[in-house]
């Protein structure tokens, strides 16, 4: 009962309260209770973040102790985690030491990893644009028009190419993105209702 019924009851009550806060006529008590539930979610998320950090420490400590593959990288990870956490707690995130680490360690590493996305996008584009059927042909044609429309050589080849490129981005692309967003929102609503009603129990774990 503790592992199944209680979480289902909590999920049902929390979801119903928050839905009532936004969709039922204004009620001071319901508004206050719904706000409290949302704040509790933030607190639970903070504890979950702490639990994740503890799990990270345990996992990589065992990897170092066993000298598994990549254990040297685990040392760097744990040293960075402990050092920056200690500096942030005792010196503050605005301290010169913390800012130096953020600006001259984290930012360059993050920029270097992000720069690899260019090569990943190039590889993915090559696989996607191979002419296998008419769908991939339409995708390739649209991509070529948009790319050429964004550079000067495209206007030299065809004077109206930038206008066509802008139309593709403004009309078909926007329509597709909005359709995906609406579909994602409907899926989120359906999943939320399943969780509230207890039909979706994947979050309970253990194959419940």
Q: What is the pLDDT of residues 107-150, one digit of tens each?
A: 998 888 888 887 887 777 777 667 777 777 888 888 888 888 87
What average pLDDT does this structure show over 36-62? Answer: 90
Same domain, 9 and 55: yes
Q: How confident is the model at residue 1 (pLDDT cuts 50, 70, 90)?
A: low
Q: How confident is the model at residue 157 (pLDDT cuts 50, 70, 90)?
A: confident
d(CA 173, CA 179): 10
Domain span holding position 154: 131-185
Same domain, 68 and 149: no
pLDDT of residue 78: 92
First to last CA, the chain: 12
Residue 195 forms part of a structural domain: no
pLDDT of residue 208: 53
Token duo for residue 172: 């078909």
d(CA 148, CA 87): 49
d(CA 134, CA 142): 12
Read off the pLDDT of residues 172-194 as tens digits, 9 standing for 90 and up: 999 999 999 999 999 988 988 88
Residue 7 forms part of a structural domain: yes
Is-contact 142 168, C-beta < 8 A? Answer: yes
Q: How confident is the model at residue 4 (pLDDT cuts 50, 70, 90)?
A: confident
Same domain, 41 and 2: yes
Read off the pLDDT of residues 50-97 as tens digits, 9 standing for 90 and up: 899 899 999 999 999 998 888 999 999 999 889 988 998 888 888 898
Question: How crowded is residue 196: how many other Cβ atoms within 10 Å of its Cβ?
Answer: 18
| Count of domains observed in the chain | 3
Same domain, 21 and 71: yes
Q: How confident is the model at residue 171 (pLDDT cuts 50, 70, 90)?
A: very high
3-state secondary structure of 208: coil
What average pLDDT does this structure show over 10-36? Answer: 84
- Does the pTM surpass 0.85? The reply is no
Residue 200 forms part of a structural domain: no
For the chain, helix (H) and strand (E) counts, in that order, are 9, 0
Could you tell me which residue, 186 or 23, shows the higher pLDDT? 186
- Residue 24 has φ and ψ, to the nearest 5°, of -90, 160
Least confident among 2-16, 36-50, 88-102: 2-16
Could you tell me which residue, 9 or 118, shows the higher pLDDT? 9
Residue 144 forms part of a structural domain: yes
């Amino acid at each position: 009962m503790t592992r199944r019924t209680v979480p289902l009851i909590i999920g049902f009550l929390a979801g119903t309260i928050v839905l009532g806060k936004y969709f039922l006529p204004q009620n001071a008590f319901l508004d206050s209770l719904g706000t409290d539930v949302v704040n509790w979610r933030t607190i639970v998320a903070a504890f979950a973040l702490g639990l994740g950090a503890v799990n990270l420490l345990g996992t990589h400590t065992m990897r170092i102790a066993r000298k598994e593959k990549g254990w040297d990288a685990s040392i760097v990870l744990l040293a960075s985690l402990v050092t920056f956490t200690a500096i942030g707690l005792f010196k503050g995130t605005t301290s010169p030491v913390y800012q130096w680490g953020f600006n001259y360690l984290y930012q360059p590493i993050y920029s270097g990893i992000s720069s690899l996305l260019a090569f990943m996008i190039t590889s993915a584009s090559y696989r996607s644009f191979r002419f296998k059927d008419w769908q991939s042909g339409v995708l390739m044609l649209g991509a070529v028009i948009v790319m050429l429309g964004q550079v000067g050589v495209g206007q030299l080849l065809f004077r109206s190419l930038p206008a066509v490129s802008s139309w593709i981005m403004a009309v078909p692309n926007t329509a597709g993105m909005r359709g995906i967003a609406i579909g994602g929102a409907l899926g989120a609503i359906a999943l939320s209702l399943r969780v509230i009603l207890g039909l979706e129990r994947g979050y309970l774990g253990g194959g419940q």
